[in-house]
Structure 1
Amino acid sequence: MRNRSSLLRTTAVLLGAALTAVSLTACGGSDSDSASKPSAHSEADIRKALDKPTTITVWSWSASLPDVAEAFEKEHPKIKVKVENVGTGPEQYTKLQNAIKAGDGGPDLATVEYSAVPQFAMPGSLVDLSAFGFDALEKEFTKATWDSVKIGGGLYELPLNAGPMALFYNKKVFDKYDIDVPATWDEYIAAARKLHAADPDTYIAADEGNAGLTQSLIWASGGRPFGVQGDKVSIDLKDAGTRKYASMYQKLLDDKLLSPVVGWSPEWYKGLAKGNIATLLSGAWMSGTLKSGVADASGDWRVAPLPTSDGKPSSSVNGGGSLAMMKQSKNQLAAAAFLRYASTGKGADIAQKSGSFPARAKVLQSEAFLGQKDEYFGGQEVNRVFTESLADVRPGWQYLPYDVYATSIFNDKVGKAFTGSMKLQDGLNAWQEELARYGEEQGFTID
């Protein structure tokens, strides 16, 4: 779920072309309406399907899913689960759109990030999982993740992981410069100034323009810039929450307090390891990235709640996704069984062991999970911080039904703000204009 800005930009044209045909279907309403009134399949139907030799295909870049598939096959030997990595994020989405347009060639299931679910659900390209009675599983998951997979009254995924936002900070660096953990954005900015003044090579964070992070910080600040109701889309990147975020972040940009290092580059990893990048504002999944990519800094890092304007808890989500069922699947009953296994059964336990932060309510309420000490983070019980963050996620956020395209052009419109060539709010305004223009081209009514 990392920043893939350069990859997104290279796929924008292809994806945009595919979206044109698909999004226009959404405005017609026929597929969406039929998806909202699915015919029911019983549990007996699913069990019967598992006793029939079947191969289901899953497109996913998840490192844990092959292990989940292997475990499922052992329990259901007549089912073969073929996991294929056809690309990460936008690469896979482009191939999915091409298969949808062709009417054939797609998988039975595919990993789709929560932010991209509306793009595929609204045109009727996904199966409403209520057809299998899976809407009855709502209480098994957290509200924040469940809300992310409910679109227009339909259920299009069972949550698998969550990405509650948190502040990852290098305690070793903070201690060296006598900096307290910031609870407010004013304190965060003050810490940034103190760090950079003490060592010009040290920065509070790195951000060259990250659309996902920007949306998460707007969300946590109370912004609700996007609204979707059928084929009507509202875009307001000047609302109070967005302006609050932009005003705060502009101070970091004006004083050049953010490292110019490109995220996910070798230099970025080196900066995190050496302490030249002292914090990360990210989803819970970042803990796995630090452990694998910055192993030498084990014991240096800690986790704290996301800073807020007034110090009162307020959070959002960054990243996360699950498996969606493609409407063109010819093995929907067997696919439904595997999808449920991956999110609620032993498969979810396997994914959790690989570093995925769980979306299941019972796990997040377990003292064994909450009290687990993480040696990488100095023995801190980091799961408590992430779980509290998930509970503090502000409700009501919506993604655009073409969020993948929106993300792909973010740097083209807002990127100059991160180099000091324009103000952040001006960049967001330019992004809004392009998003409105593009939405109208796709057949949406833009407010």
Structure 2
Amino acid sequence: MKKFVAFALVTALLASTASAQEKVTLNVAAFPSLDVAIKAITPAWNKLHPNVTIKLVAQEIGDHHNAMTTALATGQGLPDVMAVEIGYVGKFSEGKGLEDLNKAPYNAGQYKKLFTPFTVAQATSADKRFVAMPTDIGPGTFLYRKDILDKAGVNPTTMMKSWEDYIAAGKTIKAKTGASLINSAAGVYGIVTRTNLKNGEGIYFDSKNNLLVGPDSPRFVRAFTLAKQVRDAGLDAKIGEWSNEWYDAFKKGTVATQFSGAWLTGALQSWMAPDTKGLWRVQNLPEGGYASWGGSFYAIPTASKNKQWAWEFIKFMTVDQGSQIKAFIDNGAFPALLSAQNDPIFNQGVPFLGGQKARVLWRDAARKTQPIDVNKYDSVADQILATELTNVLEQGKDIKQALTDARAQILRRAR
């Protein structure tokens, strides 16, 4: 009898080992520059899990999310792990195409306290499902070319006191250096609409699904007004983001400033404009504002065939401090993990920023940024408002009328 029990135990152990060594291909779909972070940690992953091969498919951010939208709608072509940018979390959480990570076997509730609070709210759907794990966040930041501002005699601290000071400085910069203040006036609109939101507010909707857009909204009226002032003064280069012209402007120094998330510094140093090392500096946003600009998450489609390994991969990318720090060093992906934000690297100067200790500034900004509610119609509102802003900037449409029309269109689509 003892021999039989011993044999049974050995057999079970061998079966378990064989199962553990079963070859698995884990399909991961992502976008730049999240793909850089995934490639960077792949050797460490392979060492831990030699039987699980990561098959990474990366597309440009728009193409990636369009492909994932189609895949979720049809149930075809879904990966095991799906990267999601913050602007799409609400939309993707609308149906039941993503796993609720609150539930077993994931039990992600135990990990939520490990992350910057506002990013947990961003990944929580209206019906309280936790649909994605945060990996990086985008503390809003103001990047500027120190050499251009020095040539113009403009003080970067003074120009951040108010939006009016920013525009006045832009006129001086343009007159003395020929450089545009910003790539597009839409960038000013983008930051103003995201700055200093109240608890329980999203960018476009509040926690009760009330639309916050309209001609009586001070935030949107001001955002449109300031953007128009920048355009009317000839201060923007009229260049869209993620275009070759945008990259060239960074390389050639024809644009003096940029509002974005802290992650843009990593993109500049790694592939956009690496030869401009030492010329850039950063500051907080105008008028002491704080905003979330971007952020990335990992989700598991319900159709995933490798959910166990998908979850192991996601934990490796999000709650593992080593992975978070490596992604931060390699491509500037600001860690969502709080413990990673206390790593000694945060006290070091950033060579690309002339040795400035920018990471401490970003960490402080992240901790002062309020949680922002997401809504399944965020992407719809974003597209409609972008169109109406273009109508204002390029066709001279009245701002109040543009916001009235935007409100009507969003409400119609949201029905």
Q: Same fold judged by TM-score > 0.5?
A: yes
Q: How many angstroms apart in 2 are the aligned matches of 1:302 and 1:428?
A: 35
> Which of 28, 35, 43 is the equivalent residue of 1:58?
28
The answer (yes or no) to whether the contact 1:221–1:242 under 8 Å persists in 2 is: no
Partner of 1:135: 109
> Which of 295, 314, 320 is the equivalent residue of 2:289?
314
Partner of 1:294: 273
Change (3 A) 1:216 1:77: same
Partner of 1:398: 373
Alignment of 1:89-104 (within 5 A): 89-104=61-76
Change (3 A) 1:228 1:174: closer
Alignment of 1:369-380 (within 5 A): 369-380=345-356
Partner of 2:47: 74
Letter in 1 for 2:136: N
Letter in 2 for 1:160: T
Q: Which whole-Å deviations, capped at 9, do the CAs of 1:145-168 have from their partners, x for residues lacking one? A: 222112232212221111111110
1:147 is paired with a residue whose SS is helix
1:164 aligns with 2:136: no
Partner of 2:341: 364
Letter in 1 for 2:339: K
Letter in 2 for 1:398: D
1:385 aligns with 2:357: no
> Which of 237, 245, 253 is the equivalent residue of 1:275?
253
Alignment of 1:28-427 (within 5 A): 52-61=22-31, 62-85=35-58, 87-131=59-103, 132-152=106-126, 153-181=128-156, 182-183=159-160, 184-199=162-177, 201-207=178-184, 209=186, 214-222=189-197, 224=201, 225-227=203-205, 232=209, 234-237=211-214, 238-291=216-269, 292-308=271-287, 313-345=288-320, 346-355=322-331, 356-366=333-343, 368-395=344-371, 397-419=372-394, 421-427=396-402
5+ residue gaps, structure 2, are 1-16
Q: How many angstroms apart in 1 are the aligned matches of 2:317 and 2:18?
A: 19
After TM superposition, give the deviation of residue 357 of structure 1 in Å.
1.3
- Count residues with an aligned counterpart: 383
Q: Which whole-Å deviations, capped at 9, do the CAs of 1:303-350 have from their partners, x for residues lacking one? A: 001112xxxx32111111121110111221221111111112243233
Change (3 A) 1:414 1:349: same
Q: How many angstroms apart in 1 are the aligned matches of 2:233 and 2:196?
A: 21
User: Max radius of gyration: which structure?
Assistant: 2
Letter in 2 for 1:198: K
Q: How many angstroms apart in 1 are the aligned matches of 2:357 and 2:18?
A: 44
Letter in 1 for 2:51: K
Q: How many angstroms apart in 2 are the aligned matches of 1:263 and 1:156?
A: 28
After TM superposition, give the deviation of residue 294 of structure 1 in Å.
2.1
1:130 is paired with a residue whose SS is coil
Q: Which whole-Å deviations, capped at 9, do the CAs of 1:130-152 have from their partners, x for residues lacking one? A: 22121111221111222211223
Q: How many angstroms apart in 1 are the aligned matches of 2:404 and 2:145?
A: 34
The answer (yes or no) to whether the contact 2:23–2:52 under 8 Å persists in 1 is: yes
Q: How many angstroms apart in 1 are the aligned matches of 2:219 and 2:251?
A: 33
Letter in 1 for 2:89: V
Partner of 1:32: none
Q: How many angstroms apart in 2 are the aligned matches of 1:221 and 1:250?
A: 21
My pick for the range that moved more, 426-435 or 142-151, is 426-435
Letter in 2 for 1:252: V
After TM superposition, give the deviation of residue 400 of structure 1 in Å.
3.4
Q: How many angstroms apart in 2 are the aligned matches of 1:118 and 1:50?
A: 36
My pick for the range that moved more, 74-83 or 299-308, is 74-83
Q: Which whole-Å deviations, capped at 9, do the CAs of 1:159-184 have from their partners, x for residues lacking one? A: 11111111101111111121111222
Letter in 1 for 2:193: I
Change (3 A) 1:92 1:273: closer
Letter in 1 for 2:389: V
Q: Which whole-Å deviations, capped at 9, do the CAs of 1:23-71 have from their partners, x for residues lacking one? A: xxxxxxxxxxxxxxxxxxxxxxxx9986654332111122221343442
The answer (yes or no) to whether the contact 1:73–1:79 under 8 Å persists in 2 is: yes
The answer (yes or no) to whether the contact 2:143–2:257 under 8 Å persists in 1 is: yes
Normalising by the residue count of structure 2, what TM-score does the alignment of the two structures yield?
Answer: 0.83
2:83 is paired with a residue whose SS is strand
Q: How many angstroms apart in 1 are the aligned matches of 2:231 and 2:136?
A: 32
Change (3 A) 1:48 1:116: farther
TM-align CA RMSD: 2.6
Change (3 A) 1:52 1:143: same
Q: How many angstroms apart in 2 are the aligned matches of 1:261 and 1:98?
A: 29
The answer (yes or no) to whether the contact 1:49–1:333 under 8 Å persists in 2 is: no
Q: How many angstroms apart in 2 are the aligned matches of 1:221 and 1:351?
A: 28
Partner of 1:444: none
Letter in 2 for 1:273: K
After TM superposition, give the deviation of residue 298 of structure 1 in Å.
1.9
The answer (yes or no) to whether the contact 2:189–2:227 under 8 Å persists in 1 is: no
Q: How many angstroms apart in 2 are the aligned matches of 1:381 and 1:48?
A: 50
Partner of 2:8: none
The answer (yes or no) to whether the contact 2:221–2:399 under 8 Å persists in 1 is: no
Identity %: 22
Change (3 A) 1:415 1:68: same
2:234 is paired with a residue whose SS is coil
After TM superposition, give the deviation of residue 81 of structure 1 in Å.
2.4
Q: Which whole-Å deviations, capped at 9, do the CAs of 1:52-93 have from their partners, x for residues lacking one? A: 5433211112222134344223202232322222x3233222
Normalising by the residue count of structure 1, what TM-score does the alignment of the two structures yield?
Answer: 0.78
Q: How many angstroms apart in 1 are the aligned matches of 2:37 and 2:183?
A: 29
Letter in 1 for 2:364: E
After TM superposition, give the deviation of residue 302 of structure 1 in Å.
0.5
